[in-house]
Amino acid sequence: MNKNVFQHGDRITLLHTFIRIVESGSLSAAALQIGASQPTISRRLQALEQLLGVKLIQRTTHSMKLTEDGERCYRHARTLIGNWQILEAEVSIMRDEPVGILRVRAPHAFGQDQLIDPLRDYLRRYPQTSIEWTLNDHSPDFIPEGIDCAIHVGNVTDSGVVAVLLAEVPRILVAAPQYTPVHSVSELAQLPWLALSNLYRNEITLHHRATGKVCSFNIAPRLSTDSLYAVRKGVLSGMGVAMVSSWIVKEDLANGELQQVLPEWQAPPLPIYLLYPYASFYPTRLRKFLDLMKEVMPGIIGTQPPERKGTS
């Protein structure tokens, strides 16, 4: 193959594809992340190998391994693509107009219900952008998954990411009417419970709104799930008591299908963070998204301004 047929833009595409193959672990995963077919990814890899005149990846039916040349190519490709992205970012900063695809991970319930309007506003403001909006309640692995940033509800345990505190979500205890009234905290441990397993499993901690008194007790959930929607449906069906984000049961409380249990006792609110990996530069589309989230998140129904400042 004639090396002169490759333009600089083509070479950037080949290097970017090679990086995605290495970091995702397979051609098929790279194809999903890039939005191309697997044969296209395979052709790009072959073209890069022919362009460089070396074998980059040894593939078998079940595994893939970088050759020594492939490892060197990967290191240099990361540097070259990083410098190219810095150039793009600097040019974008000069014109202050974000372009390209922003890949965001968000929790299922919150991302499906509460955040669609902010996404609409972002896309209206910046018509040269598009968003890949992935809903998943687990913490993202940014580089292998090709994620730019993530909306995260709950405490952050990964010290390897930037975590910007945006807002907080109040939580309340709710149950179907047959479980109320409850007159004291001591009665709560005797009731059947539903647990939101990614936030609480076997222990409940509440504080008294007026006195600040803290009370903790153990529970043995009848149902544990990582889905806030499933917890809400379970409570509506009469399965027991649950601690939920207040926004998701607002209508249920208003129409009497659910009742708040011991409203004078509340769970600590859940922090809402925007997470993204440390990097030497951040594209304009990410910085503008962060600015928008800081602006709108405290005013979204069911959230409140944070009591403490996040890091940026």
CATH number, domain with residue 40: 1.10.10.10
pLDDT per residue as tens digits for the range 55-78: 999 887 777 889 999 999 999 988
Statement: residue 310 has pLDDT above 90:
no
User: CA 142, 145, 149, 150: dihedral to nearest 10 degrees?
Assistant: -100
Cβ atoms of 143 and 30 within 8 Å: the answer is: no
Residue 116 and residue 189 in one domain? no
**Confidence category of residue 308, pLDDT binned at 50, 70, 90:** low
**Confidence category of residue 1, pLDDT binned at 50, 70, 90:** very low
Strands annotated E in the chain: 57-59, 64-66, 100-106, 129-135, 149-153, 161-175, 194-196, 203-208, 214-218, 223-225, 242-245, 259-260, 265-277
**Confidence category of residue 193, pLDDT binned at 50, 70, 90:** very high
pLDDT (average), residues 42-67:
88
**Confidence category of residue 89, pLDDT binned at 50, 70, 90:** low
Statement: residue 9 has pLDDT above 60:
no
Residue 182 and residue 245 in one domain? yes
Cβ atoms of 146 and 103 within 8 Å: the answer is: yes
Number of domain units in the chain: 3
pLDDT (average), residues 142-170:
90
pLDDT, position 258: 96
Residue 248 and residue 198 in one domain? yes
Q: Is the pTM of this model over 0.75?
A: no
Q: How far is it, in rounded angstroms, from Cα 134 to Cα 138?
A: 11
Q: Which of 6-20, 52-66, 191-205, 230-244 has the lowest mean pLDDT?
A: 6-20
Residue 190 and residue 265 in one domain? yes
pLDDT (average), residues 260-270:
93
Return the bridge partners of 190, or none. Answer: none
**Confidence category of residue 6, pLDDT binned at 50, 70, 90:** very low
> Residue 186: inside a domain, yes or no?
yes
**Confidence category of residue 94, pLDDT binned at 50, 70, 90:** low
Statement: residue 274 has pLDDT above 90:
yes
Residue 114 and residue 153 in one domain? yes
> Residue 257: inside a domain, yes or no?
yes
Number of Cβ within 10 Å of residue 296's Cβ equals 17
Residue 81 and residue 129 in one domain? no
- Measured CA distances, 285 to 88, 107, 124 (Å): 11, 21, 13
- Rounded to the nearest 10 degrees, what angle do helices 27-34 and 38-52 cross at? 110
Q: How far is it, in rounded angstroms, from Cα 288 to Cα 58?
A: 41
pLDDT (average), residues 135-151:
85
**DSSP-assigned letters across all residues of 91-137:** HHHHHT---EEEEEEE-HHHHHHTSHHHHHHHHHH-TTEEEEEEE-S
Residue 21 and residue 104 in one domain? no
* Residues comprising the chain, all counted: 312
Q: How far is it, in rounded angstroms, from Cα 286 to Cα 28?
A: 26
Q: How far is it, in rounded angstroms, from Cα 104 to Cα 198?
A: 20
**Confidence category of residue 91, pLDDT binned at 50, 70, 90:** low
Return the bridge partners of 243, or none. Answer: 173
Residue 173 and residue 249 in one domain? yes
DSSP secondary structure letter of residue 66: E
Residue 213 and residue 177 in one domain? yes
pLDDT per residue as tens digits for the range 215-263: 999 999 999 999 999 999 999 999 999 999 999 999 999 999 999 999 9
- Closest alpha carbon to 93 in 272, 278, 285, 248: 285
Statement: residue 150 has pLDDT above 60:
yes
- Measured CA distances, 231 to 109, 193, 219, 238, 263 (Å): 11, 10, 15, 11, 19
Structural domain of residue 219, as residue ranges? Answer: 169-269
